[in-house]
Each structure stands twice: as C-alpha cells, then as structure tokens.
C-alpha cells in the first residue's frame, strides 16, 4: 500500500475515533483488518451466470447490524482497501473518494438497520431482515456514489452512469440474497460463538474459494481454447474450399454456407456488390470494396465474440477475389499476347510473300535478261562479230548489276522485318542508323542498359511500331532529327518517338492512315495504348505503352 493511503487511513481513524468510546476502538482492531482483507477478496457466487461479490461490503454490512452508524463509519473508512491502492496505481483523490463512499454507505446501512429494529424490535430473528436491509442499502448508496463519480470525472450522462455502475435486476437480486446470508452468518458467529470463529470459518472458505477460482480459470481457458480450435478449423475449411474456386460467382455461396455453420448465426450474407441491406454488423472485405460480410442485428453479440475470426474470413475472401482477378487478368493478357504474336507473324508471312513476289517479278527478270544477253554474246563471238558481242556483254553486265542491287534491297527489307528474342534494342539502333545513312536525319536512341527481359511478343510490337513510325518520318516529316526512348515503368514498357518535323494534327489525319491504324490495332491486341500527339510545325510524338507480363 502506498504511503499516502496508509496516512489517509490513519488520519480518518484518528479523527473519527476521537468521538467514540474506547470499546468501539477495541472492536475496531478486529473489524478493520477483517474489512481490509475481505475487500481484497471477491467471491464467485454463481459461476454459470458470472455473478461475483466483493466481501468487503458484506463485512461492513455485518458490522452495521451490530454497531451504530458512527462505529461503522470508523470501521469502513479505515478498513477500506483496494488493489489499486496496494499496487500504488490509485491517485489521492480516488483514495479519498473510496473511503468516503464506504464510510457513507456503511453509515447509511447502520441507520437503515436502526429503522428496522425500531419497527420490528431487536430480538434474535430480527437480524435476518436487518442483514438484508444493510446489504441492499450499502449496495444502493455505493451505486449512487459511483454514478456521481462517473458524471463528474468522466462526463457521463446520468443514464449512462447508472447503467455502468448498477448491476441488472436479476444479478442484483442474486447478489443481495447471497450477500445477506453471508452477512447473517458473520453476525451469528460474532454474537453467539466467537470472533475467532469468523477467522476459523474464513480459512477453509478462502481455500475453497481459491480452488473454485482456479478451476473456473482452467475451465474458461479450456473453453476459449476449444472455441479457438473450432474457429481455426472453420478458417482452414474455408481456405481449402476457396482455394478450389475458379469463378467469382461461387465465392459468396461457399463463404456464406461455411460462416453460417461455424458462427451458428441467424443470418450471414457475403455481399460482393454492396447491395445488401444495412442495419446489422458489416465487416469490410479487404481489397474488394464495397464487398463485405454482413450479419443481421440479432447477431451483434456473435459478431463481437467472433470478431477476429470474421475478419480473418473476410481476409481469406479478399485474397480469393484478388487471386481470381489476377488469374483473369493473366489469362486475358496471355490471350492478347497470343493474338498479337499471331497477328505480327501473319504480317511477317505477308511481308515474306510480298518479298518473294518482288524477287519473282523484279529480280529474276533482270537475271534472265542478262542470261539471254550472255547467250547472244556467245553467238556473236562464234559469228566472229566481237564489236557487237562487246555491246551485248556490256548490256548483260548492267542487267546483272541491276539484279544484284534489287536483290540486295529485297534482302535488306527482309532483314529489317524480323528480329530474334532479346535484340529489340539492337534492332532499333540498326533502324536509326539506316535512316540516318539514307536521309541524313540525326537519329538517337535512349534505352536501359541492359534492357529488361521482355516477352518476345512485346519486343515484336515495340520493334514494328518503331519501324512503322520511322517510315512515316522518312516519308512525311521532313525532320532534321528523331529520337527514340525506351522506358520500363513498373510492369509496363513505354516507347517514345519524337521528331522535329513539320508535324500535323493527329485528330484530322493520323489515325485514318493505314499504317497508324495498324500500329494502334497491334497495341490494343496487347492490352496497351498507342497515341500520337503533335501540331503543324511543332513536330510529332508517338507513344506506345504495353504491359510486360
């Protein structure tokens, strides 16, 4: 006990004792320690309904049956002791309030007992109603004073203060009845047997009380452990069922069924759309707003008791919905990438067919004509006409040169139309170098070094977009410089192409051209974006943004 609590008790005792006969002071040596020890002890009266009673008020009520109000006030003020004071946690004002409360409640109980004795006499059986009245009065005064403290110090309303400090009627009745019987027992032992009989009865009573408390604590822990095991089993079952779900429409029925069975609730709704009626308890599902688990108003107590397991179930549902969403996005991305790859390969096939036609229609005729000229030269040589043979050979040489040039152009076109995985940066550098060599346009590129690992379909899309954009620069822009930039932003690849050419208004021209429309279609197939910005005489910027997963 703290020093100020001890000093306060001694001061109260000295002030009050100065007005009492010495016999009361001698009796106080018995009652004051008894009240102090009893007030630190609680008795579990009815464990099944969680009814407990502190023993200090019972002893004070017993003293009120025997002694006048002044003596009871002395015993109560000096003997009042609380665990918070023992641990040094109670401020001085609370220590004063506690002693004033016990002293006033004890005095009121003694006055009420005096009224009972005046009405029914003070014989042997009159102590029964006296003990009951003393207990009820003590509890009533104690409740009122606690309510006053809640109103003054914590700002409660009177209704809230009375509700927090008073026991409900069934519990109050049981508490009063059992407390009155115990008070009556103490009075009988003190008056008819001996004061030491109280101590002798208290020892086994205390041992029994301790055993009961230990057994109850063990039972509570066992029940709590069993409840946690059931909750874990429910969560394990729910997680297993949700793991096998592949359709978001199946999540709500499975989760609702499992929660209904596990919580034994009257109504559990797993609301994935936010349309469920409010009015009950709503637990949000993380990552799936406005989805929530909704319990009816009748299940409020159940929600309070099982709040942690409901929140865990909500997290499992949220993870499942997130998994299904990611799986759907991955499937859509894979389909888009497959479609893009197929489209680009189809275009590549058409390009190779076009090149084959060019070889057949443009290159082969040149070599065939050269071959015919060579045959003619052989005939002229056999006819001993070297002058004409020399002219024919010269024409055949020119035809072969034209054929070689046409074949070289065709092979270069074929080479530029294809790349191998992991070479998109090198391919773009080559495109820019060829553009600069052909047109004199200053071409530069900025790219991460090394380039991040990209799916081949994304590399093809980036390469074809740059190639098509550079072709437009060469044909239409009349630019002096062009710059290509690669960026890797999170899970997306961004390709920017800027030129300082004459520019145009994309809203009027750009998206209607066949080449631009084709680049835009490719980006959309890959679930990306393709944009052109520019203005007359201000150059043009082409932006491609495509996911890389």
pLDDT in tens, 12-21: 544 454 445 5
| pLDDT band at residue 416 under the 50/70/90 scheme | low
Residue 408 lies in a domain: no
Instruction: Classify residue 459: in a domain, yes or no.
Output: yes
Residue 278 to residue 88: CA distance in whole angstroms: 47
Average of per-residue pLDDT values in the chain: 75
pLDDT tens figures, 487-509: 988 888 999 999 998 888 777 66
In a domain, 466, yes or no: yes
Residue 512: CB atoms within 10 Å: 10
**426-475 residue pLDDT tens:** 888 888 888 888 888 898 998 888 888 888 878 888 888 888 888 888 88
Q: What CATH number is given to the structural domain containing 166?
A: 1.10.1760.20
User: Is position 336 within any domain?
Assistant: no
At 320 the pLDDT is: 82
121 with 255, same domain: the answer is no
Same domain, 265 and 188: no
Same domain membership, residue 261 and residue 185: no
Least confident interval from 15-24, 83-92, 403-412, 451-460: 15-24
Q: Which residue has the tokens 């003393």?
A: 134
- Regarding whether 236 and 157 lie in a shared domain, the answer is no
Q: Are residues 273 and 139 in the same domain?
A: no
147 shares its domain with 64: yes
43 and 174 share one domain: yes
Q: Say if 69 falls within a structural domain.
A: yes
Q: Does the structure show a pLDDT above 50 at 47?
A: no
Q: Output the pLDDT for position 49.
A: 40
| Domain boundary residue, one of 143, 178, 193 | 193
Q: Cα separation of 443 and 324, whole Å?
A: 45
User: Which of 93, 81, 94, 26 has the alpha carbon at shortest distance from 55?
Assistant: 81
Q: Give the model's pLDDT for residue 381.
A: 76
Residues 230, 182 share a domain:
no
The model's confidence at residue 483, banded by pLDDT at 50, 70 and 90, is: very high
**What pLDDT does residue 150 have?**
78
Largest CA distance in the chain: 169
Query: In this structure, are 157 and 286 located in the same domain?
Result: no
Task: Let me know if residue 390 belongs to a domain.
Answer: no
271 and 314 in a single domain? The answer is: yes
User: Of 172, 193, 214, which residue constitutes the final position of a domain?
Assistant: 193
Could you tell me if residue 358 is inside a domain?
A: no
- Domain carrying residue 493: 422-549
48 pLDDT band (50/70/90 cuts)?
Answer: very low
Segment 135-154 mean pLDDT: 82
Choose one of 326, 345, 379: the last residue of a domain.
326
Please report whether residue 52 resides in a domain.
Answer: yes
CB 478 within 8 A of CB 502: yes
In the structure, what pLDDT confidence band is assigned to residue 481 with cuts at 50, 70 and 90?
very high
Residues forming beta bridges with residue 544, ordered by sequence position: 495, 530
* Number of domains into which the chain is organized: 3
Two tokens, residue 493: 């690849």
Shared domain check, 188 and 310: no
Where would I find the beta strands (DSSP E) of 273-325? 281-284, 292-295
- Total Cβ atoms within 10 A of residue 153: 11
Q: How far is CA 214 from the centre of its chain?
A: 38
Same domain, yes or no, for 227 and 280?
yes
């Amino acid at each position: 006990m703290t020093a100020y609590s001890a000093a306060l008790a001694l001061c109260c005792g000295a002030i009050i004792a100065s007005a009492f006969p010495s016999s009361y002071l001698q009796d106080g040596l018995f009652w004051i320690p008894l009240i102090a020890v009893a007030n630190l002890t609680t008795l579990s009266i009815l464990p099944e309904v969680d009814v407990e009673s502190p023993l200090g008020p019972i002893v004070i009520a017993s003293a009120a049956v025997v002694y006048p109000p002044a003596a009871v006030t002395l015993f109560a003020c000096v003997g009042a002791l609380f665990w918070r004071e023992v641990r040094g946690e109670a401020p001085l004002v609370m220590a004063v309030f506690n002693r004033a409360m016990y002293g006033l409640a004890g005095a009121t109980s003694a006055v009420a007992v005096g009224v009972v004795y005046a009405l029914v006499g003070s014989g042997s059986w009159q102590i029964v109603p006296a003990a009951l009245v003393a207990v009820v009065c003590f509890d009533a005064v104690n409740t009122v004073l606690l309510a006053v403290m809640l109103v003054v110090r914590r700002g409660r309303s009177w209704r809230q203060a009375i509700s927090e400090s008073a026991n409900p009627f069934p519990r109050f009745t049981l508490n009063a009845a059992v407390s009155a019987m115990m008070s009556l027992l103490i009075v009988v032992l003190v008056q008819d047997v001996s004061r030491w009989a109280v101590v002798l009865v208290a020892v086994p009573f205390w041992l029994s009380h301790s055993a009961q408390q230990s057994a109850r604590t063990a039972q509570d822990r066992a029940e709590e452990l069993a409840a946690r095991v059931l909750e874990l089993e429910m969560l394990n079952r729910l997680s297993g069922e949700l793991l096998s779900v592949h359709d978001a429409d199946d999540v709500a029925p499975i989760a609702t069924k499992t929660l209904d069975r596990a919580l034994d609730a009257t109504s559990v709704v797993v609301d994935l759309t936010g349309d469920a009626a409010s009015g009950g308890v709503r637990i949000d599902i993380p990552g799936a707003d406005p989805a929530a688990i909704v319990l009816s108003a009748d299940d409020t107590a159940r929600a309070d008791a099982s709040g942690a397991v409901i929140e865990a179930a909500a997290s499992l549902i949220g993870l499942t919905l997130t998994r299904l969403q990611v799986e759907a996005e991955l499937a859509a991305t894979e389909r888009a990438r497959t479609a893009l790859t197929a489209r680009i390969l189809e275009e590549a096939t058409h390009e190779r067919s076009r090149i084959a036609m060019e070889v057949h229609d443009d290159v082969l005729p040149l070599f065939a004509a050269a071959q015919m000229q060579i045959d003619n030269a052989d005939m002229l040589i056999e006819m001993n006409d070297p002058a004409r043979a020399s002219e024919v050979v010269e024409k055949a040489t020119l035809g072969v040169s034209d054929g070689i040039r046409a074949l070289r152009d065709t092979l270069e076109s074929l080479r530029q139309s294809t790349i191998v995985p992991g070479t998109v940066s090198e391919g773009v550098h080559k495109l820019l170098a060829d553009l600069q060599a052909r047109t004199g346009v200053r071409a530069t590129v900025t790219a991460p070094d090394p380039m991040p690992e990209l799916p081949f379909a994304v590399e093809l899309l980036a390469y074809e977009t740059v190639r098509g954009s550079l072709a437009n620069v060469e044909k239409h822009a009349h630019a002096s410089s062009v710059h290509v930039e690669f960026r890797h932003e999170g899970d997306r690849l961004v390709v920017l192409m800027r030129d300082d050419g004459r520019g145009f208004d994309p809203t009027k021209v750009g998206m209607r051209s066949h080449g631009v429309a084709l680049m835009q279609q490719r980006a959309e197939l890959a679930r990306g974006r393709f944009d052109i910005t520019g203005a007359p005489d201000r150059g043009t910027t082409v932006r491609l943004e495509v996911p890389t997963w």
